[in-house]
C-alpha cells in the first residue's frame, strides 16, 4: 500500500474500498475481503446505512483498529445536532475514533456542523476533516469561517472529469482529492478508451487498473466499490508500475469536462428532509 501525507501531518492510504449502495451483508463481506487482501482504507457514510456492517467486517478481519483507516460522513439532516451525531456514528462503527470525517453534502448549517467536527478533533474522536461534494466557493466559505483546513475533499473525479480547477484551488491548502466514480460510474466508453487498452498491454494490467493507477499517480485517493473478491484484489494491484509523462499526457487529453452526476438545488434541499433512522441499521 502507498500513502500520502495530509495537511495535518497524518498519512492516508491512496486506495481503499467504498461501500456506497451496498446492503449491510454485502458491505460486511466486502470489508472482510478487502482487509484480508491488503486494503487499509474503508469508506462508508451515515446515509449508506451500513456503518454497523462495516464495523462487523472490521472486527471479523482480525486486524487491529489502529491498522485500519476509517472514513465516514455526516448526513445533512444531522448537521443541526452534529456533536451528538458524531457520538452516534462512533457507536455504530464501534470505535473510539474516526480517521477521516466528512460533511456529506453542502446543505443546511454546514458551518456549524464543521465546527462540531473541529471540536471532535480536539477531543481525539476524529483525526482529519473532509468535505464531500462541495464547490470551490463553498469550500472557501468553510475555510474562512473555521480553524482547521479540510484535509480531503471527496468529489466525482475520473479521466473525463479530472477536477483540474478544483485541484489547483486546493493545492495551496495541501488538501487532496478523494475520487468517487473513479471509473466514470463504470462507463465502458471510458474504461475501453484506446489509450487505456494501449497502456494495459504495455504494463500487463487491465484497463481498470490503468485508470485507478492514473488516479493515484495524480495524487487522488480512490475508493472503488466491489462485492467481487477477484475485483477487490485486482483494484489494489496498481502500485507496481509508473506511467510515463507521455502516458499521463495522453490520459489528460481525455478530459471532456463531463460529469455523470449533478445534484440540483432542489435535490440538495431535499436532503434536509431525508432523515433515516441511522441507529436501526442491521
The pairing of beta strand 11-13 with beta strand 3-5: antiparallel
Per DSSP, what are the bridge partners of residue 15? 222
Q: Compute the mean pLDDT over every residue in the chain, rounded to the nearest whole number.
A: 96
Q: What is the pLDDT of residues 138-194, one digit of tens each?
A: 999 999 999 999 999 999 999 999 999 999 999 999 999 999 999 998 899 999 999
pTM value? 0.96
pLDDT score recorded for residue 74: 97
Find the distance separating the first CA and the last CA of the chain, reported in whole Å: 31
Domain boundaries, the chain: 13-272
Q: What pLDDT band is residue 277 in, cutting at 50, 70 and 90? A: confident
**CATH value of 13-272 in 1.20.1600.10, 3.30.1390.10, 3.20.20.210, 3.20.20.100:** 3.20.20.100
Whole-number Å distance between alpha carbons of 72 and 105: 13
pLDDT score recorded for residue 268: 81
Buried/exposed 232-259: b ≥16 CB within 10 Å, e otherwise: bbbbbebeeeebeeebeebbeebeeeeb
Does the pLDDT value for residue 197 go beyond 80? yes
Average pLDDT over residues 14-37: 97
Q: What pLDDT band is residue 237 in, cutting at 50, 70 and 90? A: very high
Counting residues of the chain whose pLDDT is more than 70, the rounded percentage is: 100
Residues that are catalytic: 48
Q: What is the pLDDT of residues 32-44, one digit of tens each?
A: 999 999 999 999 9
Whole-number Å distance between alpha carbons of 154 and 83: 22
Whole-number Å distance between alpha carbons of 230 and 237: 11
Whole-number Å distance between alpha carbons of 231 and 142: 37
Whole-number Å distance between alpha carbons of 105 and 149: 17
* Cα separations in angstroms, 190 against 18, 208, 258: 20, 10, 11
Average pLDDT over residues 237-246: 98
User: Which DSSP helix (H) or strand (E) runs through 179?
Assistant: strand 176-180
Average pLDDT over residues 116-131: 98
Burial of residue 199 (CB within 10 Å: 0-12, 13-18, 19+) is buried
Does the pLDDT value for residue 104 go beyond 80? yes
pLDDT score recorded for residue 265: 73
Residue 104 is assigned to a ligand binding site? yes
User: Which DSSP helix (H) or strand (E) runs through 156?
Assistant: strand 152-156
Amino acid at each position: 500500500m502507498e500513502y500520502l501525507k495530509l495537511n495535518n501531518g497524518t498519512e492516508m492510504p491512496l486506495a481503499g474500498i467504498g461501500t456506497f449502495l451496498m446492503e449491510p451483508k454485502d458491505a460486511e463481506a466486502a470489508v472482510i475481503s478487502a482487509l484480508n487482501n491488503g486494503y487499509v482504507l474503508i469508506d462508508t457514510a451515515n446515509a449508506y446505512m451500513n456503518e454497523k456492517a462495516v464495523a462487523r467486517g472490521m472486527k471479523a478481519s482480525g486486524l487491529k483498529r489502529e491498522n485500519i483507516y476509517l472514513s465516514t460522513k455526516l448526513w445533512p439532516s444531522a448537521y443541526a445536532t452534529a456533536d451528538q451525531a458524531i457520538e452516534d456514528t462512533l457507536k455504530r462503527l464501534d470505535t473510539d475514533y474516526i480517521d477521516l470525517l466528512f460533511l456529506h453534502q453542502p446543505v443546511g448549517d454546514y458551518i456549524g456542523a464543521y465546527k462540531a467536527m473541529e471540536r471532535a478533533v480536539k477531543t481525539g474522536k476524529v483525526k482529519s476533516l473532509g468535505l464531500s461534494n462541495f464547490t470551490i466557493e463553498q469550500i472557501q466559505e468553510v475555510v474562512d469561517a473555521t480553524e482547521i483546513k479540510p484535509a480531503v475533499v471527496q468529489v466525482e473525479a475520473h479521466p473525463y472529469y479530472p477536477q483540474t480547477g478544483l485541484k489547483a484551488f486546493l493545492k495551496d491548502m495541501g488538501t487532496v482529492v478523494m475520487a468517487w466514480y473513479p471509473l466514470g460510474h463504470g462507463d465502458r466508453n471510458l474504461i475501453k478508451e484506446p489509450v487505456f487498452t494501449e497502456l494495459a498491454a504495455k504494463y500487463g494490467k487491465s484497463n481498470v487498473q490503468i485508470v485507478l493507477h492514473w488516479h493515484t499517480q495524480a495524487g487522488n485517493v480512490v475508493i472503488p466499490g466491489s462485492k467481487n473478491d477477484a475485483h477487490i484484489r485486482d483494484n489494489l494491484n496498481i502500485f507496481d508500475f509508473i506511467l510515463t509523462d507521455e502516458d499521463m499526457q495522453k490520459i489528460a487529453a481525455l478530459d471532456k469536462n463531463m460529469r455523470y452526476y449533478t445534484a440540483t438545488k432542489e435535490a440538495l434541499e431535499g436532503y434536509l428532509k431525508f432523515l433515516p433512522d441511522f441507529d436501526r441499521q442491521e
